[in-house]
């Protein structure tokens, strides 16, 4: 990868914009320490209408609402911790294998800033988990699933376009949930503060990921492009579906797999998933990685609006 003459950035991302991200991050450094010391209230941490089961119209008493709220939030936080660990692995791998001339570039500097920010996010998340004390068992966290995830991560970090797409996806997908949580007046104040702080930092990470797409697409291998076109939508759907795992419902006395299946299939939840993943598709379209008019079928399945789907069915 060529290095720019000014030595600040590489050709992948415009150096001035990366430098601006570095400066913005430096200003916000301290807030995470205060948040790690913050406390959640004892009751439900999110209101009923933000629960994943809200569209099902279940009759929930106060204690079941409290259990579901705390378990759902804990499940999302667990997913966030896993994602941030994967992201750190990917950036670490990139740095470990990059040409020496790129080590001192602004782009690499921002990757390190991002690792630092993710580390602080993860510390805040862990403090939330300690307070939430979740009891639910995640059926997707068995030794086999974790082994599979490890295999996938080591395969994925070697494919820069796929890795950057999943970085963007892993940040866009929870961003919508965090926005709803942060903006709802019924959310626990400390949780709302963490959600808005995390969104603000992630917004810069998403900008950083987007800056790279065109160049990574240009230099991507056949397998990398193929994975982005055909595999990524399935992974993003999996990410969305497992933000809240079936064990959460069991902890609240609901049938786990049946409730999970009903939540996944409900049109309101499918629409929320679509809204969360459309920005990833749009970034790929802008980079020329997928076609705007006829994107690959998995992307249509994930991101097509209900109106477009109806029109397609009529044709």
Taking the least distance from each CB to Fe ion, the nearer of 71 and 118 is 118
Beta bridge partners of 24: none
Residues within window 214-243 making contact with Fe ion, judged by CB under 5 A: none
Distance, CA of 286 to CA of 304 (rounded, Å): 17
Residues within window 7-66 making contact with Fe ion, judged by CB under 5 A: none
Taking the least distance from each CB to Fe ion, the nearer of 78 and 121 is 121
Taking the least distance from each CB to Fe ion, the nearer of 72 and 202 is 202
205 binds Fe ion (CB under 5 A): yes
Point out which span in 15-23, 136-144, 204-212, 240-248 binds Fe ion (CB under 5 A): 204-212
Say if CB 160 and CB 216 are below 8 A apart: yes
- Build a one-symbol-per-residue string for 110-149: x at contacts with Fe ion by CB under 5 A, - elsewhere: --------x--x----------------------------
Taking the least distance from each CB to Fe ion, the nearer of 8 and 85 is 85
Least separation in angstroms between CB 191 and Fe ion: 15
Least separation in angstroms between CB 211 and Fe ion: 14
Taking the least distance from each CB to Fe ion, the nearer of 51 and 173 is 173
Distance, CA of 104 to CA of 120 (rounded, Å): 23
Residue the block writes with tokens 């020329």: 288
- Alpha-helical (H) ranges within the chain are 15-27, 31-36, 62-97, 106-132, 143-156, 160-183, 189-219, 222-226, 232-243, 247-251, 256-265, 267-286, 297-303, 306-314
Number of residues near Fe ion (by CB under 5 A): 4
- How much helix, strand and coil, in percent to the nearest 5, is found in the chain? 75, 0, 25
Least separation in angstroms between CB 158 and Fe ion: 20
Give every CB contact of residue 136 below 8 A, 6+ residues apart in sequence: 71, 74, 75, 245, 247, 248, 250, 251
Taking the least distance from each CB to Fe ion, the nearer of 77 and 254 is 77
Least separation in angstroms between CB 154 and Fe ion: 20
Give every CB contact of residue 197 below 8 A, 6+ residues apart in sequence: 31, 32, 35, 124
Least separation in angstroms between CB 204 and Fe ion: 8
Residues that bind Fe ion (CB under 5 A): 118, 121, 202, 205
């Amino acid at each position: 990868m060529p290095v720019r003459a000014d030595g600040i950035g590489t050709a992948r991302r415009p150096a001035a914009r990366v430098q601006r991200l570095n400066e913005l991050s430096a200003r916000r450094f301290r807030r995470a320490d205060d948040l790690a010391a913050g406390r959640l209230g004892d009751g439900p941490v999110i209101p009923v209408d933000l629960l994943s089961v809200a569209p099902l119209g279940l009759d929930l008493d106060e204690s079941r609402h409290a259990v579901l709220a705390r378990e759902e939030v804990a499940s999302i936080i667990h997913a966030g911790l896993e994602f941030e660990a994967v992201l750190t692995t990917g950036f670490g791998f990139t740095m470990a294998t990059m040409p020496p001339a790129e080590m001192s570039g602004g782009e690499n500097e921002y990757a390190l800033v991002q690792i630092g920010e993710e580390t602080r996010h993860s510390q805040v998340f862990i403090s939330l988990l300690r307070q939430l004390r979740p009891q639910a068992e995640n059926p997707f966290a068995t030794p086999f699933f974790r082994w599979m995830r490890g295999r996938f991560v080591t395969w994925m970090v070697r494919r820069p376009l796929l890795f950057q797409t999943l970085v963007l996806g892993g940040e866009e997908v929870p961003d919508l949930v965090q926005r709803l949580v942060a903006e709802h007046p019924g959310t626990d104040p400390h949780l709302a503060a963490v959600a808005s702080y995390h969104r603000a930092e992630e917004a810069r990470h998403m900008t950083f990921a987007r800056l790279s797409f065109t160049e990574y697409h240009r230099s991507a291998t056949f397998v990398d492009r193929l994975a982005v076109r055909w595999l990524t939508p399935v992974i993003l759907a999996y990410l969305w579906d497992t933000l809240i795992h079936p064990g959460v419902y069991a902890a609240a006395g609901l049938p786990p797999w049946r409730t999970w299946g009903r939540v996944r299939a409900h049109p309101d939840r499918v629409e929320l998933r679509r809204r969360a993943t459309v920005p990833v598709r749009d970034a790929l379209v802008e980079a020329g990685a997928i076609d705007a008019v006829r994107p690959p079928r998995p992307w249509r399945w994930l991101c097509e609006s209900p109106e477009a789907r109806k029109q397609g069915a009529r044709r």
